[in-house]
Amino acid sequence: MYIIIKAFLDDLIDFCYKGTVEPDMLAKYHKFYLKLTDKELKSKLGHYIFSKKAIHLFNVKSSNNVSCIVTLIHELSHHIDYMNRGTSDHSKDFYNVHIELIMTLFKMGTVSYNEFINLKDYASNSNKLKRLVEKGYCVTEQLDYEKEKNWLIVKNCYEAYAYLKEKNYVYNFYIKSWMKKININDIEKSKTEILNTCKNATFITRSGCELIFNLGDESKENNIPFKKTSESNITDVTKKCPKCGGKLVERTGKYGKFTACGNYPKCKYIQKDKKDESRGTGELCPQCGSKLIERNGRYGKFIACSSYPKCKYVKKDM
């Protein structure tokens, strides 16, 4: 995640300032650190640490992509303002930087104007921007940002680590995966080459401008390493989600394969395993009243609620 976010912000800086500021100053704009924390704070989503030139983002897994992106831009504005003046506050100088970056963000297509002004957390900023747009300061062009490339993220690929390193994939410790930006037309070819080295490899693809703020949350909540349907290593699930009508996909968690809605996290439907009935203990969950079933974990068998992840009850004594 860190690598994707840093690369995205560096691209934003280059699109906004390259050719308009001195190279030395542009280099200073790029010199900042990221600190990502999955800590929920109601008072703020992020802040800029002047002494460390660091952007600290909170609520990484619980906030939506747009909130996280706009928070990053707000704190990046403080960093650039600080590089320009040696200080930063919510003065006119700061908002000049902030609006330049936001407008560039719109041009890149990462966040739309409507998405921005509808953010409740940024009502004051949105109103300032809205007034500027109404005065004619609007986006008239679109940048060709990463439309030809996608992030290919590879999981469960220990056997192929030497191959991935040789092919310039970078290991992301935050999500425990290898990743690289690849031309869209070469994605399937790259997958096939990796599968020739490691048959158990699973893949995630994300557009070049899409950030993966909820990836860790998805893997944790539904035990999903995102084993998406493909002809090479996954059985296609043709049924539709009974909850939203989306396509059902087969995924692999630490308890084995299961079928869930492909529109996660918008839809969190998980198809109940037919084997659950045979593994039932005859007991009811004391928290929600659903049936208790026997599961297999890394430390052996245990009894838990069949309504997981909605209910996370686990029986302590077997």
Mark whether 27 and 94 lie in a shared domain.
Answer: yes
Range(s) of the domain holding residue 253? 236-271
For the four alpha carbons of 101, 107, 110 and 116, in that order, the dihedral sign comes to: positive
- 157 falls within a domain: yes
Residue 127 is encoded by which pair of tokens? 């109103």
pLDDT for position 294: 83
Closest residue by Cα to residue 297 from 235, 265, 255, 262: 255
Q: Residue 220: inside a domain, yes or no?
A: no
Q: What are the structure tokens assigned to 22, written together?
A: 């001195």
Same-domain status, 76 and 190 = no
DSSP result, 46-102 = EEEEGGGTEEEE--TTTS-HHHHHHHHHHHHHHHHHHHHHS---SSHHHHHHHHHHH
Do residue 16 and residue 58 come from a single domain? yes
The string of pLDDT tens digits covering residues 222-280 is 333 333 333 333 344 567 888 888 878 777 654 556 788 877 767 878 877 655 544 67
Same-domain pairing of 61 and 92: yes
Q: How many Cα atoms are found within 13 Å in the side-chain-facing hemisphere of 259?
A: 15
Q: How far does Cα 236 stand from its chain's mean position?
A: 24
254 bridge partner residues? none
Residues 98 and 126 in one domain: yes
The sign one gets for the Cα dihedral 84, 87, 88, 94 is: negative
pLDDT value of position 234: 33
Q: How many structural domains are present in the chain? A: 4
State whether 176 and 288 are in the same domain: no
More confident residue, 34 or 116: 34
Judge contact between 213 and 65, C-beta under 8 A.
Answer: yes
Kindly state whether residue 263 falls inside one of the protein's structural domains: yes
Examine residue 144 and state whether it is found in any structural domain, yes or no. Answer: no
Q: Considering only 9-18, 24-33, 277-286, which range has the smallest mean pLDDT?
A: 277-286
The residues, any chain, with a CB within 8 Å of residue 103's CB and separated by 6 or more, are 137, 139
